Amino acid sequence: MPTLWWFEIDRPALVLGSTQDESMVNRRACDRAGVEVVRRHSGGGAVLLIPGEIDWFDLIIPEGDSLWERDVSRAAWWVGEVVVEALGTDGLAVHRGPLISNEWSSLACFAGWGPGEVTVGHRKVLGLSQRRTRNLIRYQCATYRVWRPERLLELLAPDHPPADALVDCVAPVVLDRADLERSLARR
């Protein structure tokens, strides 16, 4: 049976992607801002978690469930569809193409697009990554309520793009947990 884990952010954290090097972090700035630096085992770019500014949830799918998909590039499409339904906002689309990277996506997770992520125009609404074992798929998902790229960039080493280069890569939304649960239950 699919399981939804909804997380409440209780303190700021800069979450590095699995391929990011610690040298990209401005440790002094993180310490001054009280931001913990942690690493996830999936994904590419960094994600800044600030209480009240991001909704973070994971979906766990056991092997054998009807939502299990062997094709990694198609596996998360349904996750995007569930989020689109829960948001009920016109103009949202589930990205069904290949990974789209740009000069900033290795730095900031929300700058690129992956299969199953939700967009509106050229802005990302839902970011997600997936972790797989033989027995389950774990989709790690986030939507920003507030997007302030300058806060992310001030925590990174100084050789990054200007904040205005990242301003238009995210479309903030408010994702209601009850709406997400209803949408998931209909799946």
pLDDT higher than 80, residue 89: yes
Confidence of residue 121 (pLDDT cuts 50, 70, 90): very high
In this prediction the pTM is: 0.92
Instruction: In whole angstroms, give the CA distance from residue 60 to residue 77.
Output: 15
Q: What is the pLDDT of residue 134?
A: 93
Question: b/e for 144-181, b at 16 or more Cβ within 10 A?
Answer: beebbbebbbbbbeeebeeeebbeebbbebebeeebbe
| Phi (first) and psi of residue 137, to 5 degrees | -120, 130
Residue 88 belongs to domain with CATH number: 3.30.930.10
The domain of 43 spans 3-186
Segment 151-180 shows an average pLDDT of 87
Structure-block tokens of residue 100? 């789209």
Segment 3-25 shows an average pLDDT of 93
